[in-house]
Amino acid sequence: QQQVKQSPQSLIVQKGGISIINCAYENTAFDYFPWYQQFPGKGPALLIAIRPDVSEKKEGRFTISFNKSAKQFSLHIMDSQPGDSATYFCAASDRGSTLGRLYFGRGTQLTVWP
Amino acid sequence: DAGVIQSPRHEVTEMGQEVTLRCKPISGHDYLFWYRQTMMRGLELLIYFNNNVPIDDSGMPEDRFSAKMPNASFSTLKIQPSEPRDSAVYFCASSPRRGASGELFFGEGSRLTVL
């Protein structure tokens, strides 16, 4: 069973546009929601993360929006650039559990056209 | 620090052969994870260790897969015998601690092709 559901699977955006990737989860015990960015031939790297006590976190052009009641969170990339072209993974974990493992979404392949 | 180091970067082998993937985590990191990435299933956690002890191996697909961490600076993932469906990119990741940040530091992966 997929613990974190991510959409869309792929996304094409024009340079300067807004890229939006959505994720949903069921486990209300999740309390940490990171996003990872992966370039071709590389491993994923942490991009930005949020905890459920805030509804939004912004770092530069990247913003996470979090809706606790709907159990959804999303990544917004403002003024998208060709260099943002990568695969993005949302994830979630319950850091209070014994295992505390991260559950990843399936990934979104973002292409930004120049 | 050089980051998480994985070897080999690419491996092509024939069905039935033994495959050993290696990982050197970042010094001082207590947690080590092995992931498998495929187009169909995305990133799958295979197993993870805390202080060299396996904590959760529920993601290991079958007995053909085994992982060891003999010391804090080295881990192996072994597939014996290998099958074409094992073709994937295998990532090793390490983390300094589970609770505070949860950040995983990934290596560049080992791309395995089983013919």
Identity of residue B93 = A
The pLDDT of residue A102 is 86
Determine the Cα–Cα distance for residues B20 and A96; give it in Å rounded to an integer. Answer: 34
Q: How far apart are CA A114 and CA B36, in angstroms?
A: 32
For tokens 């495929």, what's the residue? B38
Touching check for B58 and chain A: CB below 8 Å? no
User: Tokens at residue A43, please?
Assistant: 């491993």
Instruction: Confirm or reject contact between A104 and chain B (CB < 8 A).
Output: yes
Closest by Cβ to A106, choosing from B42, B98, B106: B42
Contacts of A99 in chain B (CB under 8 A): 55-56
Output the pLDDT for position A101.
79
Assess A93–B contact: CB distance below 8 Å, yes or no.
Answer: yes
| CA dihedral angle for residue B98, residue B101, residue B102, residue B108, rounded to 10 degrees | -120
Name the residue among A44, A100, A101 with its Cβ closest to that of B106.
A44
Select from B12, B33, B48, B81 the least CA-distant residue to A44.
Answer: B33
Nearest to B106 among A43, A93, A106 (CB): A43
Measured distance CA(B101)–CA(B115) in Å, rounded:
40
* Number of A–B residue contacts, CB under 8 Å: 50
Strands A19-25 and B31-38: unpaired
**Is the CB of B102 less than 8 angstroms away from the CB of A43?**
no
Q: Which residues of chain A have pLDDT under 70?
A: 1, 96-100
- Residue B74's H or E segment, with its range, is strand B74-79
Low pLDDT (below 70) residues in chain B: 1, 98-101
**Residue B31: closest C-alpha in chain A:** A101
Amino acid type, B57: D
Determine the residue type at B99.
G
Mark yes or no for CB contact B43/A89 under 8 Å.
yes
Distance of CA B98 to the CA centre of its chain: 18
- For B29, half-sphere exposure in the C-beta direction (CA atoms, 13 angstrom radius) is 28
Supply the pLDDT for residue B78: 98
